[in-house]
Amino acid sequence: MSAPAQAVTPVKQRTGAALLADCLTAAGITVVFGVPGDTGVAFYDALRDRTDTLRHVLARDERHAVAMADGYARAANRIGAVEVSSGGGTTYAVGGLGEAYAAGIPVLVVASDIHRDSRGTGALTEIDQPALFAAVTKRTYQPTTAAEIPAAVDDAVRVATTGRPGPVAVIVGEDVLDEGTGAEPVTDPAGGTLPATRPAPDPNAVAEAARLLAAARRPALLAGSGVHTSGAYRQIAALADHGIAVATTIHGKGAIDERSPWSLGVAGNNGGNALANGYLADADVVLLVGTRANATDTNGYTTPPRDATVIAVDIEADLAGRTYPDALRLVGDAAGTLGELAGALPVPPGEVLTARRTAVEERRARREPLRYNRSTEPGRLAPEDVLGRLAELVPAGTTVVADPGTPTPNLAEYWPVAAGRTALAPRGHGPMGYALPAAIGVSFARPGEPVVALTADGSFAMCCGELETVARFGLPLVTVQFTNDSLGWIKMLQHLYYEGRYFGVDPGPIDAVAVARACGLVAVRAHTLDELDTAVSAALAGRYPVYVDVPVPHLIDHVPPVPAWHQALDGDRTRPVY
Ligand SMILES: Cc1ncc(C[n+]2csc(CCOP(=O)(O)OP(=O)(O)O)c2C)c(N)n1
Ligand SMILES: [Mg+2]
């Protein structure tokens, strides 16, 4: 006689792929950028059923899918998500992740991988993904069963958003995506927001920093992107009210309202201005906040000089003061640390404040227009004039994303911003072709708002496939391309430091207007500011994307605000070390 059949309560099963998608939702992720591949088909099947909660944005290249997630993260101040598949997808994604890693941007990469039975067989798309991602992520995860997916995603999101943010990768094999499981996601809707934690600094270090600042004659502050991550705008403004003039790096642009009398603008050697650089060079006590303070940010450690008294605030102990070894280190969240510092610092007497303020104003008044700007060729517009006109056209507070080359120093110098993260430039690695896809990401973070992308002819060639993405989603992007018919930045270096021995910097032309039109966009070439105005105004009014190609003078003829280049033209031909 056989035993009576027992009633079995069926366990609710879902596939690893469905669980993975639900884990993203449980982590508060609502958009995932990506490109499909063979190993990720199960994940796409799960996404297809979840479009109400998890929006998929199909990119045309994994590098750009990552740049979209990166731009989204910078604009939303929360983790951006991207999915790619094994082989070409993962290797292309690395190109986007380098920037996010170097710039400290939280990006969650979901990478599908080959079936475990195929490992080591030379299977199509096989690559050692943890090794591949090692240099461009804070950590990688490889759940070996579907039940391990929730903990992996939960931990990955926490690691990406804790301390200095950065990318993380969750690698899931096809077999794990297909496996049934009763495991549940870990729900943490606030999990992906920045900063995940706000560590407090050592009170003794705060007291010592307050003592140094109180004794300073000419104190200054250099703010980096950590201020944006922390949202420390109020605390920066409070320190400025104590008579501390505030400069920013390009990543930190918007740490202070640039119309403030205490704002010095952007410092450094890529769009850095003479006021900010000069003030930092002469300051006796300098507070570095959430910045790498690398050689580009500090003009080779001269702004501030290494012998100034430096106080370095960073959320990571090993980053605080890394490039200023004698710095007093304050390890903690920027908002909390600066708040405590402002509380511990007496406001200087009125006459001291006035004198310091006057000193900033006088230096500002003495600011001269850049030399070596002799744009005369008709039909070519000066980039600063283009930005000036654009600022009149787009609503105040519009986010602008700049590519390397002509766009970056011009954005730094000629696009004044209020407090907030509205001027984005990829200064981690400075990858060409970043601006357009990142602006797409910004557009998903700030839906309905116009977004400006500033690109250049070389960058255009690296990202133009994404023009179709812009058209497909009808995003209100104003893209302006500065065309000088060369890889101008590098040509300029050859001009200044290699006696004009140009090599490999003059590719043939591409008609960007024709390409943009072929991708479904309204596109024009503007030889005058009025032509630019007409095209942009119509697009803004009609809320449709527009592509404007603007011929500009060569960097050699119209030298952008790059301090070392002006020094070189003044006779100092030593190439700075970065
Ligand atoms: C992916 C990538 N490759 C190479 C470089 C090095 N690089 C920096 S600027 C530049 C030239 C960019 O040309 P273009 O986009 O036309 O801008 P321009 O300098 O002419 O304004 C190059 C090649 C880079 N930043 N990114
Ligand atoms: Mg160019």
Report pLDDT digits (tens) over 103-139.
999 999 999 999 999 999 999 999 999 999 999 999 9
| Contact indicator for 36, 44 with CB cutoff of 8 Å | yes
Q: Ligand 2 center to residue 488 CA distance, Å?
A: 5
Contact criterion met (CB below 8 Å) for 456 and 482: yes
Ligand 1 in reach of 404 Cβ (< 6 A) = yes
pLDDT value of residue 1: 40
Number of Cβ atoms within 10 Å of the Cβ of 417: 25
pLDDT of residue 36 exceeding 60: yes
482 lines ligand 1 (CB under 6 A): yes
Q: Please report the pLDDT score of residue 10 as a whole number.
A: 53
Q: What's the pLDDT band for 369 if we cut at 50, 70, 90?
A: confident
pLDDT digits (tens, 9 = 90+) for 306-320: 999 999 999 999 999
Q: In angstroms, rounded to a whole number, what is the distance separating the alpha carbons of residues 81 and 43?
A: 14
- For 112, counting Cβ atoms within 10 Å of its Cβ (0-12 exposed, 13-18 middle, 19+ buried), the class is buried
Instruction: Choose among 287, 209, 223: nearest CA to 255.
Output: 223
- Counting atoms of ligand 1 from 1, which one is nearest the CA of 489? 19
> What residue's CA is closest to ligand 1, atom 16?
458
Q: Which is more confident, 377 or 147?
A: 147
Compute the distance between CA of residue 508 and CA of residue 537 in angstroms, rounded to an integer. 31
Query: In this structure, which ligand is nearest to the CA of 551?
Result: 2
372: its two tokens: 């070596």
Question: pLDDT per residue over 51-81, tens digit each?
Answer: 999 999 999 999 999 999 999 999 999 999 9
Instruction: Please indicate whether residue 98, judged by its CB atom, sits closer than 6 Å to ligand 1.
Output: no
Alpha carbon of 486 to ligand 1 centroid (Å): 9
Mean pLDDT across 388-405: 98
* Peptide bond between residue 561 and the one before it cis (omega within 30 degrees of 0): no
In ligand 1, which atom is closest to the CA atom of 492? 19
State the CB neighbour count (10 A cutoff) for residue 326. Answer: 11
- Please name the amino acid found at residue 125: T
Mean per-residue pLDDT for 154-168? 97
3-class secondary structure, 575: coil
Residue 79 DSSP one-character state: -
How far is ligand 2, taken at its centre, from the CA of residue 530, in Å? 23
Regarding the beta carbon of 562 and ligand 1, being less than 6 Å apart is answered no
Answer whether residue 6 shows pLDDT above 60.
Answer: no
Averaged pLDDT for residues 445-460? 98
Neighbouring CB atoms inside 10 A of 370's CB total 18
**Which atom of ligand 1 approaches the CA of 482 most closely?**
21
Q: Is 458 in the pocket of ligand 1 (CB under 6 A)?
A: yes
| Rounded distance from Cα 325 to ligand 1 centre (Å) | 33
State the amino acid at position 475 in one-letter form.
L
Average pLDDT, integer, range 550-564: 95
Determine contact, residues 193/78, Cβ cutoff 8 Å: yes
**Above 80 in pLDDT, residue 338?**
yes
Indicate whether residue 406 lines ligand 1 (CB < 6 A): yes
What pLDDT score does 365 carry?
Answer: 86
pLDDT at 92: 98
Q: What is the pTM of this model?
A: 0.97
* Ligand nearest the Cα atom of residue 464: 1
User: Cα(291)–Cα(282) distance, rounded to whole angstroms?
Assistant: 19
Evaluate the omega torsion of the peptide bond into residue 185 and state whether it is cis, within 30 degrees of 0.
no
Q: Which two tokens stand for residue 365?
A: 């008044």
Question: CA-to-CA distance for 67 and 49, rounded, in angstroms?
Answer: 26
- What's the chain's average pLDDT? 96
Residue 40's pLDDT is what? Answer: 98
Give the pLDDT band (50/70/90) at residue 11.
low
pLDDT in tens, 183-238: 999 998 778 999 999 999 999 999 999 999 999 999 999 999 999 999 999 999 99
Please work out whether the CB of residue 487 comes within 6 Å of at least one atom of ligand 1: yes
pLDDT digits (tens, 9 = 90+) for 243-302: 999 999 999 999 999 999 999 999 999 999 999 999 999 999 999 999 999 999 999 999
User: Region 131-150: what's the mean pLDDT?
Assistant: 98
Residue among 406, 468, 395, 412 nearest 437 (CA): 468
By alpha-carbon position, which residue is closest to atom 12 of ligand 1?
487
Q: In the chain, pLDDT over 90 holds for what percent of residues? A: 93
Q: How far is CA 76 from CA 31, 69, 147, 256, 572, in A?
A: 12, 10, 30, 18, 43
469 lines ligand 1 (CB under 6 A): no
- Sort 181 into a burial class: Cβ within 10 Å, 0-12 / 13-18 / 19+: buried
Residue 431 Cβ inside 6 Å of ligand 1? The answer reads yes
* Buried b / exposed e along 540-563 (16+ C-beta atoms within 10 A): beeebbbbbbbbbbbbbebbbbbb
Give the CA count within 13 Å in the CB-facing half-sphere of 381.
25
- Testing ligand 1's pocket by substitution, the residue of 61, 489, 494, 556 carrying the most ligand atoms inside 8 A of its CB is 489
Query: Which residues are bridge partners to 558 per DSSP?
Result: 373
| Percentage of the chain lying above the pLDDT 70 cut | 97
Q: Which two structure tokens, joined as six digits, stand for 112?
A: 């599908």
Are 80 and 70 in contact by the 8 Å Cβ rule? The answer is yes
If pLDDT is split at 50, 70 and 90, which confidence band does 3 have?
Answer: very low
Confidence of residue 9 (pLDDT cuts 50, 70, 90): low
